[in-house]
């Protein structure tokens, strides 16, 4: 493990939170946008090293294009599938659970960027509703912690959540998080102990790390993962294909090969969602398909994620590489095998 000079909680407290703080730190000016700013200082230093035109910078620094009014507020249609607070249940056997709406960083491309607010209370336990819902839905065998970022919760609060789901006899638990790359120090010894305990409460624990570029794989992250990959759990990753950030074959190759070498299996590559304020990261489906097809030549199948797209309106994810060709006719098959439109107008 790392010898820490600054705890992750302190790193959060000292994060850059305003245009003024950003401008003082980067010694340049930034566009004003409607979206909050939140960049932990160690990440800010890394961005500064790489330069403000780098892939790292584009993901986290505000940009005038965020003020464009195209795109949707709820691009994947989560609201229609939320039966109770803190739950989105779209697929038969698994559901998303949102213990918090805060994150360790404000990603400018985020598909929930019009819904998340950094001043929300950190932990909003509503286990009554969750318990009632799960009791009525025994078909749910996996609870996926999403958010916000579930690792924004303290280890104690996470343990409470895990105990609740263990009592409800949910066999599988999953965490979707960006924390390990933003603040590797979050994966401290208490977290290791927590996961070891959880591994005895559930049949399968999965941690899915969100990262988009090989520059996010720092020496610190690698060092932490050397120990954590030995835990009796499954490590996966998910990435978003982002115009100007990672939309080329060699960048994706370096990312996915970097991950498998660390014991993290690339799971999903998401086509970007048509989210308001993030449309400058969106790219044509044809371009994504060509990129993804070319990747096969450079990385083995075990390092290749599934390339998926979320169909607006809540139709869910579907694979995007269509074997007949790159051309996109504007329609996709949803989980019921129905053809539905991707573009809403
Ligand atoms: C993406 C998603 C999941 C997880 O899907 P997997 O294919 O199991 O990774 C679950 N619920 C919702 C609502 C989702 O959007
Ligand atoms: S960590 Fe995830 S939910 Fe949070 S801002 Fe980034 S993409 Fe959005």
Domains in the chain (CATH in brackets) are: 8-68+77-341 (3.20.20.70)
Q: Which ligand is nearest to the CA of 317?
A: 1
State how far the alpha carbon of 303 is from the alpha carbons of 252, 257, 269, 271, 340, in Å: 11, 6, 11, 18, 30
Ligand 1 centroid to 95 CA: how many Å? 7
Is there an atom of ligand 1 within 6 Å of 209 CB?
no
| Residue 323 neighbours by CB under 8 Å, 6+ apart | none
Is there an atom of ligand 1 within 6 Å of 198 CB?
no
Is there an atom of ligand 1 within 6 Å of 90 CB?
yes
* pLDDT the model gives residue 222: 98
Ligand 1 centroid to 293 CA: how many Å? 24
Ligand 1 centroid to 84 CA: how many Å? 17
Q: Which pTM does this prediction carry?
A: 0.95
> Ligand 2: which of 149, 216, 281, 310 to mutate, most ligand atoms within 8 Å of CB?
149
* Atom 10 of ligand 1: nearest residue by CA position: 95
Check: CB of residue 225 under 8 Å from CB of residue 186: no
Phi, psi of 145 (to 5 degrees): -75, 120
> Ligand 2: which of 62, 103, 108, 213 to mutate, most ligand atoms within 8 Å of CB?
103
Ligand 1 centroid to 209 CA: how many Å? 14
Distance CA 326, CA 292 (A): 10
Question: What tens-digit pLDDT sequence spans the chain (345 residues)?
Answer: 455 568 899 999 999 999 999 999 999 999 999 999 999 999 999 999 999 999 999 999 999 999 999 999 999 988 889 998 899 999 999 999 999 989 999 999 999 999 876 556 666 667 889 999 999 999 999 999 998 999 999 999 999 999 999 999 999 999 999 999 999 999 999 999 999 999 999 999 999 999 999 999 999 999 999 999 999 999 999 999 999 999 999 999 999 999 999 999 999 999 999 999 999 999 999 999 999 999 999 999 999 999 999 999 999 999 998 777 889 999 998 888 889 999 986
* pLDDT the model gives residue 240: 98
Three-class DSSP category at 331: strand
| Residue 118 neighbours by CB under 8 Å, 6+ apart | 17, 36, 38, 102, 103, 106
State how far the alpha carbon of 328 is from the alpha carbons of 220, 275, 339, 342, in Å: 41, 20, 13, 10
* pLDDT the model gives residue 118: 53
Ligand 1 centroid to 174 CA: how many Å? 10
> Of all atoms in ligand 2, which is nearest to the CA of residue 104?
1
Is there an atom of ligand 1 within 6 Å of 161 CB?
no
């Amino acid at each position: 493990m790392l010898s820490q000079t600054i705890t992750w909680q302190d790193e959060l407290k000292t994060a850059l939170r305003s245009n003024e703080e950003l401008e003082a730190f980067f010694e340049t000016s930034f566009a004003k946008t409607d979206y909050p700013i939140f960049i932990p200082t160690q990440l800010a230093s890394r961005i500064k090293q790489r330069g403000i035109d780098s892939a790292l910078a584009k993901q986290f620094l505000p940009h005038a294009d965020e003020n464009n009014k195209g795109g949707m507020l709820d691009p994947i249609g989560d609201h229609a599938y939320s039966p109770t607070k803190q739950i989105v249940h779209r697929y038969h056997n698994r559901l998303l659970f949102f213990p918090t709406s805060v994150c360790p960083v404000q990603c400018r491309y985020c598909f929930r960027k019009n819904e998340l607010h950094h001043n929300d209370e950190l932990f909003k336990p509503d286990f009554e509703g969750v318990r009632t819902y799960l009791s009525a839905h025994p078909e749910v065998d996996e609870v996926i912690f999403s958010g916000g970022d579930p690792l924004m919760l303290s280890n104690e609060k996470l343990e409470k959540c895990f105990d609740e789901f263990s009592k409800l006899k949910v066999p599988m638990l999953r965490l979707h998080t960006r924390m390990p790359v933003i603040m590797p120090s979050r994966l401290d010894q208490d977290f290791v102990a927590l996961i070891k305990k959880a591994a005895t409460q559930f049949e399968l624990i999965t941690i899915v790390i969100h990262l988009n570029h090989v520059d996010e794989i720092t020496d610190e992250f690698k060092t932490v993962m050397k120990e954590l990959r030995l835990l009796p759990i499954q490590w996966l990753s998910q990435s978003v294909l982002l115009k100007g950030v990672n939309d080329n074959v060699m960048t994706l190759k370096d990312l996915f090969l970097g991950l498998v070498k660390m014991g993290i299996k690339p799971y999903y590559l998401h086509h970007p969602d048509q989210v308001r304020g993030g449309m400058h990261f969106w790219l044509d489906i044809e371009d994504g398909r060509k990129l993804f097809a070319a990747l096969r030549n450079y990385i083995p199948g075990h390092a290749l994620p599934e390339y998926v797209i979320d169909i607006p309106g809540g139709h869910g994810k579907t694979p995007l590489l269509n074997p007949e060709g790159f051309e996109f006719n504007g329609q996709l098959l949803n989980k019921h095998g129905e053809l539905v439109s991707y573009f809403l107008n």
